[in-house]
Structure 1
């Protein structure tokens, strides 16, 4: 059976679409739930205004559902089907008429189940029935003085705010997993602080940047970076291909604002991997150089219960108090801007990002030197780099023992031991050297 279709494109009317989240039986009540024609006109005239929907328009104790404006194209089509009743063999005729088009639609995708009915029970009523009377709860007008003279007001306590947000959060938080941590890739530990630089995630297959962007060179001219300052930082990268930010500030003597413009023109930044948070010279690939093990990232953190909280504070607190009263035991703690770890000093902060070459301890440097050279064709590990598994734990234990011994000597020199308690197996009460 053949069919014929006729399409009419005569209408160019622009329409607005409201996806009403209910079955519409009465159009007037539907418009009333949307706030009336006035509220609908305000929402249609402002692209940033939400369309409010209240299923109980006369009840103020409910949260309205918000309709968000969604951009999209659509057509309103009327299709009429004509069939001949006398001649059933006659082909069916379809008449399609385009009534209008739309460019946006209001969709209600937020939560709308925050509804409260101010129902209360009469105190002297014989039947336990609930009463809904807004005239006793809300004044009818500004001049309604009879509202304030009522003595039998119902006790109704409704929330001041129904919900902070009305959108659905589908985030699934990962639980704490008990594992050895040997198969996880190191990730980003802080937000990047330098603008306009190459931020590279560590990969075993992808290539690393060879040269900087041309916009970075133009940025240095705007910031008035001198040739002498650029040469100081450039010479540091020629001596050593990988640096930390605090080490560059200490060795070059260039200010922080100038270094923000110079570093992106000479190096790229690793956001993950064994060399994360470090700046690597353009053209240098640490995956191919066994000497790059000296420059791998070592993240050392002090425990709060290790007895050093009174010596070493947070880095932010130290910077705030830098021009104020000095610390009580400042002879033990390294300077806040010192980039290296000294054997006879406490760390500069509770968390230190170091390179292994920044740890000035002969025992640790000897351990790194004795690591056997890899065979021909061997590649570094995605997590541990050129160092063996568990090497960082050994270094961390050596540093912790050195700090404990330093604190023992400090307490023994500065305090006199009191008498020991025989029951507690000789525990000193005036100093903490016995607890360390």
Structure 2
């Protein structure tokens, strides 16, 4: 047996997987719309290729072929056998005609196909069954000059919708009927995504009544997740002490995981999606619109204008959590930065540290700065019957801007002290050790050099301070 190979990989083909047995090539091309429509589909990267089972029938919906990236080669194999000597092994001639990089496949569903058939009674026998007649010529004019079409009498009317199915792609859906159960027969680890966070989400306004009790399904989820009585009591005590909390503060004060909180919180509080208490959890039955003391718990949305000079300290939350999950060993420089920046899980803002992330959702009571807390205390008590503002709550207009300026000034002072300390340490390390005094002339030269060095050092310090000020102004502007 012998084999001979020949290659021609320069020629590229397009593969169409036709869903049928091709006997007549012309009729096959007619179902695809002709060679012109096939060329249009091949010349476009996203165009689908239609296939009509009845090309001349306008009342059938085509199926569409989608293009997929595929790799293949077209082979031509010729087998030659010896006619006289049947025992001689055949010879194979293999030629590579070309390659293809794209394939059109028809894997979608086929819609309803209709033929314009009219039932007409037989004229020869009245008792015989009616006869089906192909009546396409009576439904549409033959051409544009067929004026007799409008003079004919149409015994029947054929009215079909444009399409019957809205999609032609196979979709495997799982449907479940909601039934009233006690939750004892539920299976753990369901495939559907939980909607715990969507429970009791309230839009703030001045008209509606806020929820006073939890949803009936919340207790069912609490049993499924096996939350202990001690864990539930710890969160309940926090809400009894303070009616409004952030999620990170509840997690920090209770020490529970986020999965446990997602089951416990819907039983004790509702969530504001907007308004002065946006992104906060409020205890059921507590209306912050009627309590002037709730001004301490309003939302303070603080965002850093991320720029040069701050990227080495404050990172994004996603990056910090990835580094914390990896438990990477920290270097001495990272330890110094961690002393300057608050921990990612710390829910409060201290006066002498940088914020934990670029954006912090805090309550005003979480900003532990004496000046800001005094400003909150000095806000005058409103008159009897007064209500809070729908946008600013119980705080006067522009109060958040004043607080933001105070926080930015504190951050600027922290950065200024940090850069000054680094410059001083770098200059101390750069001072060379003093040598022995040998001769008076050499000593005079050294004194002169030291005076020049002091002048240069003073210029360097003043220049570095100017650079620091420019960086800080850029960050806090």
Q: TM-score, normalised by structure 2?
A: 0.54
Residue 259 (structure 2) aligns with:
257
SS across alignment from 1:237? helix
Q: Deviations over 1:297-316 (max 9, x none)?
A: 11111122262211111111
Pair 1:35 & 2:51 matched: yes
2:237 to 215, 235, 238: 235
Q: Matches of residues 275-314 of structure 1 in structure 2 within 5 Å?
A: 275-305=277-307, 307-314=309-316
Q: What residue ranges of structure 2 are gaps of 5+ in the alignment?
A: 1-29, 38-49, 67-103, 119-137, 139-152, 168-193, 428-454, 473-477
Distance 1:296 1:303 in 2: 22
Once the 2 structures are TM-superposed, how far is the Cα of residue 221 of structure 1 from its aligned partner?
A: 0.2
Alpha-carbon distance in 2 for matches of 1:412, 1:363? 25
Task: State whether structure 2 residue 354 is matched by structure 1 residue 321.
Answer: no
Pair 426,197 (structure 1): closer, same or farther in 2 beyond 3 Å: same
Shift of the 304–99 alpha-carbon distance from structure 1 to 2, 3 Å rule, reads closer
Question: Could you tell me how far apart the structure 1 residues matched to 2:290 and 2:259 are?
Answer: 33
SS at match of 1:305: coil
Query: What is the aligned partner in structure 2 of residue 426 from structure 1?
Result: 462
Secondary structure at 2:300's aligned position in 1?
strand
Partner Cα distance (1:333, 1:205) in 2: 42
Question: Counterparts of 1:342 and 1:382 in 2: how far apart (Å)?
Answer: 29
Checking the alignment, whether the CA contact within 8 Å between 1:420 and 1:427 is kept in structure 2 is: no
Aligned to 2:357: 349
Provide the residue aligned with 1:189 in structure 2: none
SS of 1:321's equivalent in the other structure is helix
- Unaligned 5+ segments in structure 1 are 1-27, 53-63, 81-93, 109-191
Aligned pairs, number: 303
Return the offset for 1:210. 1.4
8 A contact 1:427–1:434 mirrored in 2: no
Inter-CA distance 198–29: structure 2 relative to 1 (3 Å threshold): same
**Matches of 2:233 and 2:322 in 1, distance apart?**
32
1:256 Cα deviation from its structure 2 partner: 1.2
SS at match of 2:328: coil
Change (3 A) 1:420 1:341: farther
Cα 1:223–1:103 change in 2 (3 A) is farther
The residue correspondences of 1:94-113 to structure 2 (distance < 5 A) are: 97=156, 99=158, 104-105=163-164
Q: 2:363 matched to 1:361?
A: no
Residue 247 (structure 1) shift: 0.1
Q: What SS is found at the alignment partner of 1:303?
A: coil
Give how far 1:398 is off.
0.3
Deviation at 1:196, TM superposition (A): 4.8
Which stretch has the larger CA shift, 99-108 or 251-260?
99-108
Asked if 1:394 corresponds to 2:402, the answer is: yes
TM-score, L = length of structure 1: 0.59
Partner of 1:409: 417
1:276–1:205 Cα change, 3 Å: same
2-side partners of 1:259 and 1:376: how far apart?
38
- CA–CA distance in structure 2, aligned partners of residues 423 and 225 of structure 1: 65
Determine whether 1:384 maps to 2:392: yes
1:394 deviates by 0.5
SS at match of 1:300: strand
**Equivalent residues of 2:303, 2:359 under 8 A apart:** yes
- Give runs of aligned pairs for residues 15-164 of structure 1, distance below 5 A: 32=34, 34-37=50-53, 50=64, 97=156, 99=158, 104-105=163-164
Deviation at 1:248, TM superposition (A): 0.3
Name the counterpart of 1:131.
Answer: none
SS in 1 for 2:353: coil
- Residue by residue over 1:249-270, the C-alpha shift from the partner in whole angstroms, topping out at 9 and shown as x without a partner, is 0001111111111111111111
SS in 2 for 1:376: coil
Which of the pair has more CA radius of gyration? 2
How far apart in 1 are the matches of 2:166 and 2:360?
50
Deviations 1:186-244 (A, max 9, x none): xxxxxx99535211111121221111111111001000011110010011111111100
Distance 1:30 1:224 in 2: 61
**8 A Cα contact 1:428 1:434, kept in partner:** no
Q: State the match for 1:335 in structure 2.
A: 343
What is the Cα deviation at residue 413 of structure 1?
2.9
Distance, in Å, in 2 between the alignment partners of 1:401 and 1:40 is 79
CA root-mean-square deviation:
4.5
CA distance in 1 between counterparts of 2:392 and 2:292 reads 13
Quick one: distance in 1 between partners of 2:296 and 2:264?
24
Q: Which residue is equivalent to 2:218?
A: 216
2:272, 2:278 within 8 Å by CA — same for their partners in 1? yes
Tell me how far 1:325 sits from its aligned partner.
3.1
> Helix, strand or coil: the match of 2:401?
helix
